[in-house]
Each structure stands twice: as structure tokens, then as C-alpha cells.
């Protein structure tokens, strides 16, 4: 009988408390972790974009469309750009339209409200495995997003609701670390979180590089700085970058820092290492010798990231390099799905089926 259809382990003493973890528990915990992390990343990205457009002052229509296009490209909704930000639309209206679509539109499968709903559904399926505090918190986030006041609050103060979502996601992660047994279920949540961060970070870098490549030399230097500062803010590493790199914002240094820095918790290097450690720990706790392919892929990716190298300067080369990193993480996620989670015949990551913008679809279940 295939191991991923029934149990991950067979009562070996190395499994959690001598019990084997059901594949459905691993599956629900994994996807709960991915959707919670994705909700936080979407909220932070929208907060940064809102701040850029409302704080820059006097931005023109083209700049507003660039920011809106980056957000929609990252969330795989670029086809909505002309509907949400038609030519001639003032930047302020573009902000509200894009924010509402990305956050609250139930017809958008990648919207924040759908991410929270899917995370809650997975949490409900494993209530016996997570703490009561975790369930209460994710349930509160869910009803906050579905309340009739959510749209009004978004209209009046989008920054407030975005910060609430970010804080809610961070609190949920803290509750999982402090109130949940650190067994296999907890490890799958952590593995999911770090694989999702690699995916979104690569998307942010790729989207911004593509925007700057299209603008080429026509874009003013001040606007280039704003774009790269937004990347740093979206990855929560502005202060860390400034401590490590004194002086101006240099695109090569920013990309290198976000990719290779081993100490920043949202860098690609850090997240790949953390994902590899989670896979190693899960394999150690399981009696069945599974997960070897995920371990191999992540180990190879981590080896490539351990020694910082020069970032390719031409935009096309840099985009290829970023996509290679994301493809490696997507293959690892696919291996995790096939080896340990439910429905291995329906993989969540279309690693070989890119969309029109060159990026594979967002992982879903």
C-alpha cells in the first residue's frame, strides 16, 4: 500500500509520541501553513504598494499602472490590469480597485479572503492536532474578513486592515511555535511556510525586474530607487539591508542580499535552508524511508546558495536565474506532495506549465 495514502510512519519509536502521522493531517497542516503565509505576503505587498502610491505624491498614471501591474503579476492576475486600472484612471482610484480585487474579491481564487478561507478549512480538518488558541485565532481572522464592515474599512483605511492581517498571520505563526507540540504536524507547517516564502520572494523579484526591463533607461533614477525600496519592504529587510550596505540603493546589491543573505528570515537562502532542515527532521522521525527526492532537490538548491555569486546584470539573465531558483523550490514542493501528502496524482505546483508571464501558477489545493 502506498505510504502517502495511509500513514507516514508505522509506529516506529522515532515518530511523534510513538504514533504515525496520517497523510491527511500532514496535508492539511501543510496547506494551512502555505495559505497563512501567502495571506501575510499579499497583505504586506499591498501595504507597500499603497504606501508608495499615496506617499510619493504627485505620481503620474504610468507609475500607478506600473505598481498595479507588479501586484497583479505577482498574484497571477495580470489579465485584470486593464479592467482595474484602465488608461486615464487616477492613481488613487487604481489603488482602491486593485486593493479590493486582491483582498476581498471572492471571484479571485488568489485573493486574501480566499487564502484565509482555505487556511481555516484546513485548520478545521486537523483541530485535534493544533492548539485551541490557533483555531480561535484563525477563526477570528476568517470572520473579520467576511464581515460586512470589511469593505467599508478597506475604503476608509486600507492600511489599517492590511496591518491587521499581517499581524494576525505573524501571531498565528507565533501561536503554532509556542502552543503546538513540535512534532511532524508542526514541521509540515514550517516546511510549507518556507517553501511559500521562496515562491513569493522570487515572484516579487521577477515582477520588479520585468517592470524595470520594460522601462529600460526611460525611468528616472528616483523612481528606480522607489521600486527597489518597495522590494526590500515587501521582503521585510530594509533595516537589515541598510546595516549591511551603506549608501545608495543598488539593484544588484538588493537582489544579491535578498537571494543570498543567510541571516535574513525571508531571504531565499534562509528559507531553502529552513525547508531542508524541516525535511531532514521529518525523515528522521519517520520509519518509512520517504522524502529522499525532496531532500535531494533542496540540498542541491541550498548548495548553490551557500556561496554568494555575482548577480547577472542583464535583466533577462537575472530573470532566468530567479526562475531557476523558483523552479527548484517548486520541484521540491512537488516531491513533498507526491511522497507525503494526499492526492499525489493531482500535484499542487505546475512546475512545467508556465503562464504567459513565464511564472508557473501559484501552488493551490
pLDDT of 266-324, one tens digit each? 999 999 999 999 999 998 888 667 889 999 999 999 998 987 666 655 566 788 889 99
318 is a domain residue:
yes
Domain shared by 189 and 173, yes or no: no
Is residue 125 situated within a structural domain? Answer: yes
Stated pTM of the model: 0.86
Contact predicate 39/116, CB 8 Å: yes
Q: What is the pLDDT of residue 348?
A: 39
Joined grid coordinates for residue 204: 516579487
Statement to judge: residues 27 and 70 lie in one domain: yes
Q: Would you say residue 313 lies in a domain? A: yes
167 shares its domain with 190: no
Mean pLDDT across the chain = 82
Residue of 293, 302, 310, 301 whose CA lies nearest to 347: 293
For the segment 182-207, the average pLDDT, to the nearest whole number, is: 94
| pLDDT for the residue 273 | 97
**Cα–Cα distance between 184 and 113 in angstroms, integer?**
28
Pull the grid cell for residue 166: 499581517
Domain that holds residue 43: 18-180
Same domain, 188 and 164: no
In a shared domain, residues 223 and 119: no
User: Do residue 267 and residue 252 come from a single domain?
Assistant: yes
pLDDT at position 308:
64
Pairwise pLDDT comparison (310 vs 231), residue with the higher score? 231
Give yes or no for a contact between 103 and 96, defined as CB atoms under 8 angstroms apart: no
What is the number of domains present in the chain?
A: 2
pLDDT digits (tens, 9 = 90+) for 54-105: 765 556 677 778 888 888 989 888 899 888 888 877 777 888 888 889 998 9
pLDDT for 117 beyond 90: yes
In a domain, 358, yes or no: no
Q: Is residue 164 part of a domain?
A: yes
Cell numbers linked to 162: 492590511
- How confident is the model at residue 218, as a pLDDT? 61
Place 5 in a pLDDT band, splitting at 50, 70 and 90. very low
Helical residues (DSSP H) of the chain, grouped into ranges: 23-55, 61-74, 81-84, 91-104, 112-125, 132-146, 150-156, 158-179, 184-215, 221-234, 238-244, 251-260, 268-285, 292-305, 315-340
Q: What is the pLDDT of residue 47?
A: 92
Least Cα distance to 2 among 347, 346, 338 occurs for: 338
CA 94 to chain centre: 24
Confidence of residue 364 (pLDDT cuts 50, 70, 90): confident
Last residue of a domain, one of 180, 200, 230: 180
pLDDT, average across residues 354-362: 46
Same domain, 318 and 264: yes
Residue 77 lies in a domain: yes
Q: Clarify whether residues 200 and 329 are in a common domain.
A: yes
Domain shared by 26 and 154, yes or no: yes
Predicted pLDDT at 350: 37
Amino acid at each position: 500500500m502506498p505510504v502517502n495514502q495511509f500513514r507516514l510512519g508505522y509506529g516506529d519509536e522515532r515518530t511523534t509520541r510513538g504514533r504515525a502521522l496520517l497523510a491527511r493531517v500532514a496535508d492539511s497542516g501543510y496547506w494551512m501553513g502555505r495559505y497563512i503565509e501567502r495571506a501575510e505576503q499579499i497583505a504586506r505587498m499591498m501595504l507597500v504598494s499603497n504606501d508608495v502610491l499615496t506617499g510619493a505624491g504627485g505620481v503620474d498614471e504610468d507609475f500607478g499602472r506600473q505598481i498595479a501591474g507588479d501586484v497583479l503579476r505577482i498574484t497571477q492576475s495580470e489579465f485584470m490590469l486593464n479592467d482595474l486600472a484602465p488608461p486615464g484612471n487616477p492613481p488613487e482610484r487604481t489603488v482602491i480597485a486593485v486593493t479590493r480585487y486582491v483582498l476581498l474579491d471572492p471571484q479571485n481564487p488568489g485573493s486574501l479572503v480566499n487564502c484565509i478561507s482555505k487556511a481555516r478549512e484546513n485548520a478545521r480538518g486537523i483541530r485535534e492536532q493544533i492548539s485551541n488558541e490557533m483555531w480561535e485565532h484563525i477563526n477570528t481572522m476568517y470572520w473579520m474578513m467576511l464581515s460586512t464592515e470589511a469593505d467599508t474599512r478597506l475604503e476608509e483605511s486600507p492600511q489599517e486592515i492590511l496591518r491587521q492581517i499581517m499581524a494576525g498571520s505573524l501571531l498565528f505563526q507565533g501561536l503554532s511555535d509556542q502552543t503546538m507540540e513540535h512534532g511532524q504536524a508542526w514541521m509540515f507547517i514550517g516546511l510549507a511556510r518556507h517553501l511559500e516564502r521562496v515562491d513569493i520572494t522570487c515572484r516579487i523579484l521577477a515582477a520588479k525586474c520585468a517592470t524595470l526591463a520594460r522601462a529600460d533607461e526611460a525611468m528616472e533614477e528616483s523612481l528606480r530607487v522607489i521600486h527597489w525600496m518597495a522590494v526590500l519592504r515587501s521582503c521585510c529587510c530594509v533595516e537589515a539591508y541598510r546595516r549591511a550596505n551603506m549608501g545608495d540603493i543598488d539593484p544588484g546589491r538588493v537582489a544579491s542580499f535578498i537571494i543570498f543573505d543567510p541571516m535574513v528570515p525571508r531571504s531565499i537562502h534562509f528559507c531553502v535552508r529552513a525547508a531542508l532542515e524541516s525535511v531532514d527532521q521529518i525523515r528522521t522521525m519517520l520509519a518509512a524511508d520517504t522524502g529522499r527526492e525532496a531532500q535531494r532537490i533542496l540540498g542541491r538548491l541550498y548548495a548553490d546558495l551557500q556561496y554568494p555569486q555575482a548577480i547577472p546584470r542583464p535583466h533577462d539573465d537575472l530573470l532566468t536565474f530567479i526562475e531557476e531558483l523558483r523552479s527548484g523550490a517548486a520541484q521540491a514542493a512537488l516531491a513533498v506532495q507526491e511522497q507525503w501528502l494526499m492526492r499525489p496524482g493531482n500535484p499542487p505546483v505546475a512546475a512545467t506549465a508556465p503562464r504567459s508571464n513565464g511564472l508557473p501558477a501559484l501552488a493551490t489545493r
